[in-house]
């Protein structure tokens, strides 16, 4: 697949880039995408949820009434779940939600996500650039030139360019990533994927290893 290269003013240059069919033109594997997104979302969970069971509730452990002769059920502790203020039965406990996924499945999922973006023509290629200083206003001009002001944008560069990163950091709908941190969830969650020329070369090397 061949795409035109744009400058930061939204104008077409006379150059084009070739997107590798082995990365951007494969038959997407939906199950691999599902597994990788599930992994990403599971790894983001803190797993610190906890409720107080009867062993964690503060209160006396004395027997609150005699065993027999009251006409009601026996009760041994005020911390019992049947009483108001007692512990919770089988409440959530801290746990680790992460799980393992094979590298080949992760790679297939990322390729599938990129292929989906390419097939729907939601990839834009920019020439390599940098700002003299961090300027969010300049980056907003860039988005406006591509009519992406109100869209979710994933901006990918081969390495962290400090001034560009700082210019995007304050924008709610823009996410900046290095190519080696590219993941399935962020690719699919964005309305538009913006790559610079050097990122495409970097992705070719990354997926060929």
Give the tokens for residue 5.
């290269």
**What tens-digit pLDDT sequence spans the chain (209 residues)?**
788 888 888 888 888 888 888 999 999 999 999 999 999 999 999 999 999 999 999 988 899 999 999 999 999 899 999 999 999 999 999 999 999 999 999 999 999 999 999 999 999 999 988 888 998 999 999 999 989 888 999 999 988 889 999 999 999 999 999 988 999 999 999 999 999 988 988 898 888 76
Mutual angle of helices 30-43 and 103-119, in 10-degree steps: 110
Task: Say if CB 109 and CB 183 are below 8 A apart.
Answer: no
Backbone phi, psi, residue 198, to 5°: -65, -25
Residue ranges of the chain that CATH labels 3.40.1370.10: 2-45+100-208
In angstroms, rounded to a whole number, what is the distance separating the alpha carbons of residues 69 and 138?
A: 81
Residue from 104, 123, 143 nearest 188 by CA: 123
Is the domain covering 2-45+100-208 a CATH 3.40.1370.10 domain?
A: yes
């Amino acid at each position: 697949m061949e795409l035109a290269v744009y400058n930061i003013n939204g104008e077409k240059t006379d150059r084009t880039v070739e997107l590798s069919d082995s990365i951007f033109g494969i038959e997407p594997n939906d199950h691999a995408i599902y597994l990788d997104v599930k992994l990403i979302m599971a790894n983001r969970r803190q797993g610190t949820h906890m409720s107080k069971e009867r062993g964690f509730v503060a209160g006396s452990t004395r027997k609150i009434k005699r065993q027999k002769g009251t006409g009601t059920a026996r009760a041994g502790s005020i911390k019992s779940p049947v009483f108001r203020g007692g512990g919770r039965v089988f409440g959530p406990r801290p746990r680790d939600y992460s799980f393992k996924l094979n590298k080949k499945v992760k790679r297939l999922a990322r390729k599938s996500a990129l292929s989906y973006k390419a097939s729907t023509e939601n990839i834009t290629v920019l020439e390599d650039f940098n700002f003299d200083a961090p300027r969010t206003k300049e980056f907003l001009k860039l988005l406006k030139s591509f009519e992406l002001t109100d869209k979710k944008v994933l901006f990918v560069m081969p390495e962290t360019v400090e001034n560009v990163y700082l210019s995007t950091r304050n924008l709610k709908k823009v996410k900046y990533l290095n190519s080696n941190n590219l993941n399935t969830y962020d690719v699919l969650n964005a309305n538009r994927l913006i790559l610079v020329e050097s990122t495409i070369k970097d992705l070719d090397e990354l997926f060929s290893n």
